[in-house]
Amino acid sequence: MKTKVQGTAGLKQYGKRGSMMLFRDAGAWLLLLPTIIIIYFFTVRPIIIGLWYSMHEMQGFTPKMFVGFENYKRVLADTQFLKTLMNTVLYVVWSFVIGFVPPILTAILLNEMIHCSGWFKFSIYFPTIVPTVAATMLWYYMYLPDSSGLLNTVLLKLGAEPQGWLQNSVLTIPLIVIMSTWKGCGSTMILYLAALQGVNQELYEAAIIDGAGFTKRIIHITMPQIMGITILNAVRQIINVFQIMTEPLTMTGGGPDGASMSMALWGYKSAFIEFNTGTSLAIGAITFAILIVLTMFYFYAESKVD
């Protein structure tokens, strides 16, 4: 009986302590409240509703009948699924082949510059603030298959034959990734540049005294010092590129013959062109599940870095 009374008193004391902490932090909770509300209504709630609706037969955007995993079975049985998933993986692979090194190299060069570094920083970062659709249209006209395209104009001046750049199924994804790299290089470069600013300059001075050249300093000092942010950016790049949609939508529409179709673009077309809302939601849910795994890996990598 005594133990029970003590347990009740402990619970009351714990509840009183929790109330005091909540009251003490009331100001902080009030500041966080608008953000929490926005995250709930624009992120959490749509995800929950989307997952629930993906298990329904849809008429437009209105659920009509619960069908369980039928929409998912339809997506997984579709012959386009594996091809689209592989295309999305190819986007990620090509983003590493083409786009992973330039931000690091640019940041290292800017960190070593003494004159005009501000102008170069602005020039490299500027494409980041250009709207994605405007940037993709700019590159689309550069890739035009006739003589009016910039690349073909250059080829004609050099005496070569014009190429059907985006019409070539082998080149389509790499060309889109080149455009994405041009647009996104600046924002990633800023992160690397910030990390480089935190590297102890005494290490460089000691290396110079020991006779280490520029390349050796990069290999033995710079890269080990920024390895943490490099790993995090690698995982972040995988997550971001896996959701690519605007670029292939604007430049190729997923063509030629589905060669540039991504998971996100397939979901968009299913919903707004084919009006298959249930299928689109199932595609989104599958993509979401893959991104959850990638995000968990991201947090794991972040904890290892810390």
pLDDT at position 2 over 50: no
Nearest to 171 by CA among 151, 148, 185, 147: 151
Whether residue 8 has pLDDT greater than 70: no
Task: Report whether pLDDT(206) > 90.
Answer: no
Each domain of the chain, given as residue ranges in start order, spans 2-47, 77-305
Q: Is the separation of the CB atoms in 94 and 177 below 8 Å?
A: yes
CB-CB contact of 153 with 73 (8 Å)? no
Output the average pLDDT for the chain: 85
- The pLDDT tens digits for 186-196 are 999 999 998 88
Task: Report d(CA 4, CA 69) in Å as an integer.
Answer: 49
Assign residue 63 a region: left if phi > 0, alpha if psi is -120 to 50, beta otherwise?
beta
The continuous run of DSSP H or E covering 125 comes out as helix 117-129
Peptide bond into 145 cis (omega under 30): no
Give the model confidence (pLDDT) of 34-68 as tens digits.
898 999 999 889 889 989 999 998 888 888 899 98
pLDDT band at 22 (very low <50, low <70, confident <90, very high): low
List, in sequence order, every residue forming a beta bridge with 58; answer none if it has no partner: 63
Q: Is the pLDDT of residue 20 over 80?
A: no
pLDDT per position as a tens digit, 112-166: 887 777 888 888 999 999 999 999 999 999 999 888 888 999 999 888 888 889 9
Residue 145: partners with Cβ closer than 8 Å, 6 or more residues away:
152, 162, 163, 164, 165, 166, 167
The confidence band for 306, taking pLDDT boundaries of 50, 70 and 90, is: low
* Element (DSSP H or E) covering residue 54: none
Three-class SS of residue 252?
Answer: coil
The average pLDDT across 286-295 equals 87
pLDDT at position 112 is 80
Identify the band that residue 291 occupies on the pLDDT scale cut at 50, 70 and 90: confident
Give the mean pLDDT of 201-215.
81
| Residue 91 near residue 262, CB atoms below 8 Å | yes
For residue range 222-270, what is the model confidence (pLDDT) as tens digits? 888 888 888 888 888 988 999 999 999 999 999 888 999 999 999 999 9
Q: Is the pLDDT of residue 292 over 70?
A: yes
Tell me the percentage of the chain whose pLDDT exceeds 70. 91
Q: Say whether domain 77-305 belongs to CATH 2.120.10.70.
A: no
Residue 208 CB contacts under 8 Å (≥ 6 apart), including other chains: 217
Residue 5 pLDDT > 50, yes or no?
A: no
| Token pair for 235 | 């995982």
